[in-house]
């Protein structure tokens, strides 16, 4: 099996300023970015990496340096730079703020958000240089399809590297759009699903490729940010809508449920959905040790699909349950793993065989009020301190089980 760990670069100056970066190289890490990248390295400390692939852009190169410091890894560790790992190319928007683009390119912005596979943009073509000044001059303009071009690059990247690293563990440090395209092409998601996967700064994901020379893998973890002291990934696309916390509960690991319960005590839960399956009956009580506003038991095993249909109607208030979506609303769904797996597969529009769901973990789906597209914020969060790096954490790292998001051999 080939294991690929994917990390988005840390916070950059353009991230902090809420500007589109694209493939320009004007943005560098902030101080927070450097600190978070270092903590990501601490979290990955002890994982035996065979090699590292990075984007050539500065914000990624700086992130990689800090990660290696946190891992206490040799700087001469084999690092390869690939142009396929550059961020999505958006020449007309690079450097512009999100707000400016939304207000001044309304039609294009709507296409970008709702039909990313159809989104196109004018791209100047550099065809000659002024010999006297050595300055490149754009002599023509052509239309490019940023998302489709990005997915083509992702396909090419997998084709080039997977046959050469069978059975290896690889770290990829890249960009939000690029990692979304890499995950999507690996688990048979289509380009119109581009905005479904959230990628936070320093968010960490894992793909496993079980057979040599095959580009179809399994997603084992997605956008894990617990090493940045985040209980849950931060909400994007506004603060209105519904967030579902999905727990595939088996009842066989009560200590894991207890750990998740401790995590959720600081999260406001507005309602609970749980099936009447014997394996999940007691878990809501374990996860929530204080009264909540609403509890709903549903006997039908297909209740998640019906629930999603209600949510996608985008009513500000769901009348039957009096749930107000004009504010951040959080629901807890506790069900058997097969139901949770089907929910995730439905959201990603892929087959469950491409998902490596881990029981007694936590996955997060967000339904922004003003967006037709649900967002998978994270998948398979556990409450393990997976290698936080301090001496007192050594025991915790030794206790990591094969079912944690990082089931990789740790150095002794």
What residues are labeled active site? Answer: 9, 87
Rounded CA-CA distance 164/213 in Å is: 8
Rounded CA-CA distance 309/315 in Å is: 11
Rounded CA-CA distance 231/165 in Å is: 34
Spatial CA neighbour of 339 closest among 367, 310, 305, 307:
305
Nearby residues of 89 by Cβ (< 8 Å), 6 or more positions away: 22, 23, 123, 144, 146, 149, 150
The tokens of 179 are what? 């990692």
* DSSP 8-state secondary structure symbol assigned to residue 319: T
The tokens of 343 are what? 């929910």
Rounded CA-CA distance 311/367 in Å is: 8
* CA dihedral sign, ordered 71, 74, 75, 80: negative
Rounded CA-CA distance 297/174 in Å is: 42
Rounded CA-CA distance 387/12 in Å is: 25
Cα angle vertex 83, ends 78, 87, to 5°?
110
Measured from the Cβ of residue 345, the count of other Cβ atoms closer than 10 Å reads 17
Size of the chain, expressed as the number of residues it contains: 412
The tokens of 144 are what? 């490019």
- Radius of gyration for the alpha carbons in the chain, expressed in angstroms and rounded: 22
């Amino acid at each position: 099996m080939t294991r690929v760990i994917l990390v988005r670069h840390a916070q950059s100056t353009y991230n902090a300023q809420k500007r589109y970066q694209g493939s320009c190289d004007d943005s560098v890490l902030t101080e927070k970015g450097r600190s978070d990248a270092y903590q990501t390295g601490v979290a990955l400390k002890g994982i035996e990496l065979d090699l590292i692939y990075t984007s050539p852009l500065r914000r990624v190169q700086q992130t990689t340096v800090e990660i290696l410091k946190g891992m206490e890894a040799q700087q001469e560790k084999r690092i390869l730079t690939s142009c396929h790992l550059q961020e999505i190319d958006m020449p007309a928007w690079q450097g512009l703020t999100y707000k400016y683009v939304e207000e001044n390119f309304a039609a294009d912005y709507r296409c970008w958000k709702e039909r990313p596979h159809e989104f196109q943009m004018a791209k100047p073509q550099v065809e000659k240089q002024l010999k006297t000044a050595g300055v490149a001059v754009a002599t023509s303009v052509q239309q490019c399809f940023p998302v489709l071009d990005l997915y083509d690059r992702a396909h090419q990247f997998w084709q080039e590297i997977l046959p050469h690293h069978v059975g290896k563990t690889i770290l990829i440090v890249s960009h939000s759009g690029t990692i979304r395209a890499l995950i999507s092409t690996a688990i048979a998601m289509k380009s119109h699903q581009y905005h479904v996967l959230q990628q936070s700064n320093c968010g960490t994901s894992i793909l496993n490729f079980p057979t040599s020379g095959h580009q179809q893998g399994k997603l084992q973890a997605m956008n894990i940010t617990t090493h940045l002291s985040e209980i849950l990934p931060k909400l994007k696309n506004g603060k209105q809508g519904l967030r579902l916390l999905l727990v595939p509960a088996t009842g066989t690991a009560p200590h894991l449920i207890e750990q998740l319960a401790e995590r959720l005590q600081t999260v406001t839960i507005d309602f609970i959905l749980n099936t009447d399956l014997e394996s999940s009956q007691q878990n809501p009580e374990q996860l929530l040790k204080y009264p909540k506003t609403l509890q709903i038991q549903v006997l039908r095993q297909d209740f998640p699909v019906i629930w999603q249909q209600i949510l996608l109607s985008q009513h500000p208030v769901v009348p039957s349950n009096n749930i107000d979506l004009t504010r951040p609303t959080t629901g807890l769904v506790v069900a058997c793993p097969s139901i949770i797996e089907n929910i995730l597969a439905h959201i990603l529009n892929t087959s469950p065989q491409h998902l490596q769901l881990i029981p007694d973990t936590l996955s997060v789906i967000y339904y922004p009020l003003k967006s037709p597209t649900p967002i998978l914020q994270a998948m398979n969060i556990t409450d393990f301190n997976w290698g936080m790096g301090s001496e007192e954490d050594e025991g915790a790292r030794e206790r990591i089980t094969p079912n944690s998001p990082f089931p990789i051999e740790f150095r002794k």
